[in-house]
């Protein structure tokens, strides 16, 4: 079986499937985020998950095991600006801690990448804290590398 077929169809070795996410998945996505962070998800984070369902530029996928969401990825298409053409952004990804390490995150990212590719998007970006070693390793394994952009921040009072 080819690697792509393993990641896009029922994965009998890992026992999960992937599909686009729906409104009914939001509470399970939030529960996964809370299990990962070990704290209640902020109202703004929950709203971001809901907003991506409604926006034409937003998309997301979930991994299911026995009809239960065990992982998610949320992405967005952004228009040209600041020196880049239309691009894809991986906004959020999470796998329930009890299901980490078996390829669910990679399968979800692959689905998101296929979504972007079908829309003619070839450059995908994400942002991660410099000290989040586990996430940096995950993104590196997906083929991400340092961008030519520098993240800047300003706190408004």
Q: How many domains in the chain?
A: 1
Q: Which pLDDT score, from 0 to 100, does residue 19 have?
A: 94
| Any domain includes 149 | no
Domain for residue 155, yes or no? no
CATH number of residue 101's parent domain: 3.40.630.30
Residue 43's contacts (CB-CB under 8 Å, 6 or more residues apart) are none
Structure confidence at residue 6 (pLDDT):
37
Task: Flag whether 50 is in a domain.
Answer: yes
Low-confidence ranges of the chain (pLDDT < 70): 1-14, 81
Question: Would you call 119 helix, strand, or coil by DSSP?
Answer: coil
pLDDT of residue 87: 87
- What pLDDT, on a 0 to 100 scale, did the predictor assign at position 79? 79
What residues contact 37, with CB distance under 8 A and at least 6 apart? none
With respect to residue 153, please indicate whether it lies within any of the assigned structural domains: no
> Which of 96-115 are b and which e, b meaning 16 or more Cβ less than 10 Å from the residue's Cβ?
beebbebbbbbbbbbbbbeb
* Residue-wise pLDDT tens digits, 57-69: 889 999 999 989 9
The predicted pLDDT at position 4 comes to 35
Q: Is residue 93 part of a domain?
A: yes
């Amino acid at each position: 079986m080819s690697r792509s077929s393993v990641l896009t169809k029922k994965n009998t070795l890992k026992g999960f499937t992937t599909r686009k996410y729906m409104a009914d998945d939001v509470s399970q996505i939030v529960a996964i985020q809370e299990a990962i962070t070990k704290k209640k998800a902020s109202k703004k984070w929950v709203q971001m998950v809901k907003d991506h369902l409604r926006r034409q530029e937003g998309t997301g996928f979930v991994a299911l095991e026995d009809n239960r969401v065990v992982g998610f990825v949320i992405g967005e298409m952004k228009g040209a600006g600041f020196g880049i053409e239309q691009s894809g952004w991986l906004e959020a990804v999470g796998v329930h801690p009890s299901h980490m390490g078996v390829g669910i995150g990679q399968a979800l990212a692959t689905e998101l990448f296929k979504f972007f590719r079908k829309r003619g998007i070839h450059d995908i970006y994400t942002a991660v804290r410099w000290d989040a070693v586990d996430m940096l390793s995950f993104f590196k394994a997906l083929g991400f590398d340092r961008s030519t952009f520098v993240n800047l921040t300003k706190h408004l009072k």
